[in-house]
Amino acid sequence: MDLMDALRTRRALREFTGGLVDDVTIEELVGAAVLAPSAVNLQPWAFAVVRGTERLRALSAEARRYALAHLPAGSPLATHVADPAFEIFHGAAVLVVICAINGETQSFEDCCLAGQNFMLAAHAKGLGTCWIGLSRAWLNDPSVKSELGIPADWHPTAPIILGHPLTLPAPTPREKARIVWCQ
């Protein structure tokens, strides 16, 4: 797939078939993620992988309760998250959490770069992804890290669901880029 076509056609997927994604494919996508640039080549990332639609449904319920309890007053997300049918992980087969493995400020951005590589590589393989930022605070809770087996000193930064797309959403309109040409 041509890079520009991948950028134009990748979508945030929230409907999945429930089909499994094999470990080899997940490892290939992680291999693409670690090709991302990083500050002074620290490569500050590690990957926590949670598999299974039913496991993710159960975790969605936990993450939803946490989000409801911690959303700021007046958040436009509150009504959406309060819907009992809302699943944070959208029925995906896999959750890949890219974690910063040190406290360097730039490491969090580096994990975000790795996340973009991961999502584009998944798209090139015909898989769907969605970055689930709403789950980040929950994933950083010490009890959740312990439950999932994420080391206490890792910082979940880029939670991305992965699966086989049920449908491909239409493109969302983009605003014209704001550019300031500096002197």
Is residue 23 one of the residues assigned to a domain? yes
Q: Are 39 and 110 in contact (CB under 8 A)?
A: yes
Residue 180 lies in a domain: no
The domain in which residue 87 lies consists of 14-163
Rounded Cα gap, residues 121 and 125, in angstroms? 6
CATH number assigned to the domain comprising residue 134 = 3.40.109.10
* In-domain check, residue 170: no
Residue 179: inside a domain, yes or no?
no
Residues 114-157: tens digit of each pLDDT: 999 999 999 999 999 999 999 999 999 999 999 999 999 999 99
Structure confidence at residue 96 (pLDDT):
98
Phi (first) and psi of residue 100, to 5 degrees = -80, 130
- Asked if the structure places residue 175 within a domain, the reply is no
| Residue 81, token pair as written in the block | 């998250």
pLDDT of the residue at 48: 98
> How many structural domains compose the chain?
1
Identify which of 151, 130, 122, 138 has the alpha carbon closest to the alpha carbon of residue 45: 151
Residue 173 lies in a domain: no
Asked, for residue 50, whether it belongs to a domain, the answer is: yes
* Residue written as token pair 């670690």: 34
Structure confidence by residue, pLDDT tens digits, 59-108: 999 999 999 999 988 888 988 899 999 999 999 999 999 999 998 989 99
> Going by C-beta distance under 8 Å and a sequence separation of 6 or more, which residues neighbour residue 131?
12, 115, 119, 158, 159, 160
Q: Which amino acid is at 71?
A: L
pLDDT score recorded for residue 105: 87
Q: How far apart are the first and last CA of the chain?
A: 37
Q: What is the pTM of this model?
A: 0.94
